[in-house]
Amino acid sequence: MKNDPVVAIVGVTGAVGAEFIATMDRRNFRINRLKALASARSAGRSLNYGGKPVLIEELTERSFEGVDIALFSAGSGISRQYAPIAVRSGAVVIDNSSAFRMDPNVPLVIPEINANRIRDHKGIIANPNCAAITALVPLWPIHQNNRIKRVIISTYQAASGAGAAAMDELVQSTRANLHGQVFTQKVMPHPYAFNLFSHNTAVDPETGYNDEETKVIKETRKIFEDEAIAIGVTCVRVPVLRAHCESITFECEKPITEDQVRRILATAPGVRIVDDRANNYFPMPVDASGQDDVLVGRIRKDLSDPSGHSIAMFVAADQLLKGAALNAVQIAELLPERVMA
Ligand SMILES: NC(=O)c1ccc[n+]([C@@H]2O[C@H](COP(=O)([O-])OP(=O)(O)OC[C@H]3O[C@@H](n4cnc5c(N)ncnc54)[C@H](OP(=O)(O)O)[C@@H]3O)[C@@H](O)[C@H]2O)c1
């Protein structure tokens, strides 16, 4: 409708871009018009939105004229270059990259946790890292109830977190492996089929932590507004096509039982408990794929802490949805600018 916003998607042909389109459609996000933006490689192709074809245009400095909301998902370099241009053109930017996440002037938002920060925006709102979102959606309601002093996270991250080309490489290399053919990887730094490796972001030679791990640590403190929370993270890429898993162990200020955690999570927004001990059925990527909720299971006392302050659990979430496109669309739904005057 005329009063609905004009929405631009930057990186519309990517793994996240495709989910922006599907999520907006599924949630009946009303728009006046969609501007589908990608690189020159994709310009001239078309995609479908709301049953109508939309032409994909090359991203340029003039792409944001008349745009009200711009969803960015084309990497940090593109966000750094074009998000300020979009803001100057009058658009509100919701950015999926890491470019602005730690900027003190940019709200870093998970709507289930800090939707109130959206109104502080000065043109850009950042979507957090997908491994951070996956952990924080279930940890937040516990933290509010009984402050988490310390958390240790080990991730099992899918190919989809590295984009469409990484997903393709996992499929192609698995096929080649099964046929006894040699496969030379181009996207990932190591063989991906029937293998796993430390996360493919740069490793700080001093600390030994990679960028993904550092993002989870810094972003957790910013989102929880708790600089004192102690966090240890190990990020690993596993040969799963879609949806991240994480093993999470946390220590609270006061004693906590697994029943208390179950009760808190039973009504937590964005969380679904999948914790069937009798059938050994717990969160799995195949069940999390295509789902909005973070699946949480294996909720149990951490036996390494006899004081009763610590709980271990295992989670799975579709990081293309809650870790990226869904979280961004949820933010867009809450924007006061969504309904134009
Ligand atoms: N995958 C995830 O789960 C996830 C989660 C959270 C955040 N993110 C972030 O989202 C961003 C995109 O991730 P992705 O997984 O969707 O990657 P992807 O599948 O590789 O897609 C990249 C997108 O960026 C576009 N692009 C590349 N260079 C461009 C240029 N010069 N001008 C305009 N568009 C350009 C591509 O267009 P062409 O097709 O035309 O090349 C494509 O649409 C990254 O910043 C990533 O860190 C991803």
pLDDT in tens, 274-329: 999 999 999 999 999 999 999 999 999 999 999 999 999 999 999 999 999 999 99
Using the mean position of ligand 1's atoms as its centre, give its distance from the Cα of residue 73 in Å: 5
As a whole number, mean pLDDT of residues 45-49 equals 95
pLDDT at 338: 61
Which two structure tokens, joined as six digits, stand for 1? 């409708």
pLDDT at 161: 96
What does the angle CA 320 – CA 322 – CA 327 come to, to the nearest 5 degrees? 105
Q: Is the pLDDT of residue 340 over 60?
A: no
pLDDT at 341: 39
Closest CA to ligand 1's atom 25: 11
As a whole number, mean pLDDT of residues 71-80 equals 98
Q: Is 83 exposed, middle or buried (0-12, 13-18, 19+ CB in 10 A)?
A: buried
CA distance 127 to 111: 10
Q: Is the pLDDT of residue 339 over 90?
A: no
Closest CA to ligand 1's atom 39: 13
The pick from 23, 96, 134, 330 for probing ligand 1's pocket by mutation, whose C-beta has the most ligand atoms within 8 angstroms, reads 96
Q: Decide: 333 and 312 in contact? Cβ < 8 Å.
A: no
Using the mean position of ligand 1's atoms as its centre, give its distance from the Cα of residue 316 in Å: 23
Q: Decide: 38 and 11 in contact? Cβ < 8 Å.
A: yes
pLDDT at 240: 98
Catalytic residues, by residue number, are 130, 244
Q: Is the pLDDT of residue 234 over 90?
A: yes
Provide φ and ψ at 154, rounded to 5°. -120, 125
201 lines ligand 1 (CB under 6 A): no
75 lines ligand 1 (CB under 6 A): yes
Helix (H) or strand (E) holding 176: helix 164-178
Q: Is the pLDDT of residue 181 over 70?
A: yes
Q: pLDDT band for position 337 (50/70/90)?
A: low
Using the mean position of ligand 1's atoms as its centre, give its distance from the Cα of residue 31 in Å: 22
Write 301-308 long-range contacts (CB < 8 A, 24+): 301/257, 301/258, 302/249, 302/251, 305/251, 307/255, 308/255, 308/256, 308/257
159 lines ligand 1 (CB under 6 A): no
